[in-house]
Each structure stands twice: as structure tokens, then as C-alpha cells.
Amino acid sequence: MQGHSVKSIRIAIVLIGTFSAAHAQSLPGGFVYLRDIDPSIIQDIRYATSNNFLGRPLAGYGAGECVVKREVGLRLKAVQQELAAQNLSLKMFDCYRPARASLDMVRWSQNGHESAADRRYNPRIAKTELFRLGYIASRSQHSTGAALDLTLVDLKADNSARIDPAKSYADCTAPVAARLPEGSVDMGTGYDCTDEKGHTAAPSITAEQRAWRKRLVAAMARQGFVNYSKEWWHFSLPGAGGAAYDFPIQPRRN
């Protein structure tokens, strides 16, 4: 969801016209598809699917592609190279986020419904409180191309588990075997879990889960990325942001 507080960031929404299919790979200056920088980094762009807290693709996500500022992509490549030597990989959940997607989140929070799917991601917090508590913002650093949601994958492990539509999964704070499968290491909660257990330094997780979080934070920090304390999965690169954008994410041409 949200990452760092955006109150200190001056954001100018830059509206880019909707791209035609013939120009699907066109990006504003300074933006790149992460696959063009490092295709070995695993991508699971959740807001382009129904596997997220809204239960549907968000506005502006026309493709499950990680788009970032070039500097961010190059630093992610350096992190990935370090992890590869340990049989690990980054897995991207969200990268650049069109500003319209953040507004989509606002509308969702105000629709007056609290479904079982909502509770899977927000087990103890009412969706109307998510903005006040800093989990979602109407203006997000993601829209600058300098913020990321990600995790680690153990390449030696069996990561083949897929979501079974017929199964009733527990909420995001449950033990890993009971919650939605994510094909990644057990960080103590699922992605986008709006709960104190999702805070990076949460005392309620196991020693092994804490070690994985520290390993991720340390690897990212060596390339200058800063973690957001309320979300173990959220990182940003100071100084790489700037204006926020609203161009849609379109399929990358090979």
C-alpha cells in the first residue's frame, strides 16, 4: 500500500495521455521497465491482478510490469547480484504506481463495505482508518518511480504453491501455511498486511522471520534504499523521486 509519509514531499501530478497499444513501451524520460535492466528479478505485480486488498486490478495497471526510475533499476540490479550468490532473489510486488491508482484506493476506503477479503489484509483496522494511520496515502511516493514493494525468494525452496480459489485462507497475520501463498520466504505476514505485525521491527514475529526481514533491509540499505517502518516490504531511494506521474502501466514490447 503506502510507504513513507508523503507530507514532506512536494508532488506535482504530471498527467501523461493514455498510451495507444502501438506506443505501449513509451515511457517518460528517466523511467524504464525493470525487465530491461535485470530480467532475473522476479515480478508479481499484485495491483495488476485480483490478488490484492481491493480484490481487482487497480486503475492504471494495464500490465503486470515493474516500472522504475533508471537509477532505481540499476541499484536493484546490484542488490540482485549480491543476492544471487546466496541463492536468493528479489520479488517485486509494486513499483511505479499511477496516481490514479492511489485515488482508486481512496474510493475503495470510502465505499462503506467491509468484506471478508478486506479483513484478510486488514484484520484489526477498519479500512476508513488506513489513511489516518499511514498505511495508504492519496499521494504516494510510488508515483514518483522511486518507491518499491518487494520481498525475498529462496531459490532453493519449493515456491510452486498457487492460490486455490476453493480454499478459505486465514488473514495475513496467520502462520504461513494458513495464509495466501506468495512463493517467497516467510516474513511473518503476507504482503500489504495492515497490522502491527507487519511493522518491520514487530516484536511478535519469530526469530527466523526477523532474520529474513533484517537480511532484506540490510541488502537494500547497501544500495541506499530506506525501509518504511510500518511495512517490512516498502523501500524508497532518497533523492530519486521528484514529481508524481499518472501515466498508465502498459505491456512491455520485447
Q: What is the DSSP string of 125-154?
A: S-GGGTTTTTS--SS-GGGGT-EEEEEEEE
Which strand (E) or helix (H) includes residue 90? strand 88-94
Confirm or deny that 149 is annotated as ligand binding: yes
Q: Assess if residue 250 is contained within a domain.
A: no
Would the pLDDT of 88 be above 70? yes
Residue 235 contacts residue 6 (beta carbons within 8 Å): no
Confirm or deny that 23 is annotated as ligand binding: no
pLDDT, tens digit (0-9, with 9 covering 90-100), for 198-233: 999 999 999 999 999 999 999 999 999 999 999 999
Domain that holds residue 165: 13-245
pLDDT, tens digit (0-9, with 9 covering 90-100), for 25-77: 589 989 999 999 999 999 999 999 999 999 999 999 999 999 999 999 999 99
Would the pLDDT of 10 be above 50? no
Would the pLDDT of 146 be above 70? yes
The CA-CA-CA angle for residues 154, 206, 123, to 5°, reads 95
Domain count, the chain: 1
Would the pLDDT of 9 be above 60? no
Phi, psi of 232 (to 5 degrees): -60, -20
Q: Assess if residue 111 is contained within a domain.
A: yes
Hey, what amino acid is at 154?
Answer: D
Note the pTM of the prediction, 2 decimals.
0.89
pLDDT, tens digit (0-9, with 9 covering 90-100), for 157-176: 999 999 998 999 999 999 99
Q: Assess if residue 107 is contained within a domain.
A: yes
Q: Assess if residue 134 is contained within a domain.
A: yes
Would the pLDDT of 243 be above 80? yes
Residue 25 has a pLDDT of: 57
SS3 23: helix
How many Cβ atoms are within 10 Å of 109's Cβ, its own excluded?
Answer: 20
CA dist list (Å): 134 to 13, 127, 168, 218: 20, 12, 29, 23
- Please tell me what DSSP assigns to residue 13: E
Q: How confident is the model at residue 11 (pLDDT cuts 50, 70, 90)?
A: very low
- Cell numbers for 198, please give them: 507487519
Q: How confident is the model at residue 177 (pLDDT cuts 50, 70, 90)?
A: very high
Q: Assess if residue 5 is contained within a domain.
A: no
Would the pLDDT of 22 be above 70? no
Residue 7 has a pLDDT of: 35
d(CA 58, CA 97): 10
pLDDT, tens digit (0-9, with 9 covering 90-100), for 114-145: 887 778 999 988 888 887 777 777 678 999 99
CA dihedral 212, 169, 120, 174 (to 10 degrees): -40
Q: Assess if residue 78 is contained within a domain.
A: yes
Q: Assess if residue 1 is contained within a domain.
A: no
Confirm or deny that 234 is annotated as ligand binding: yes
Q: Assess if residue 6 is contained within a domain.
A: no
* Catalytically annotated residues: 231
Q: Give the CATH number, domain containing residue 83.
A: 3.30.1380.10
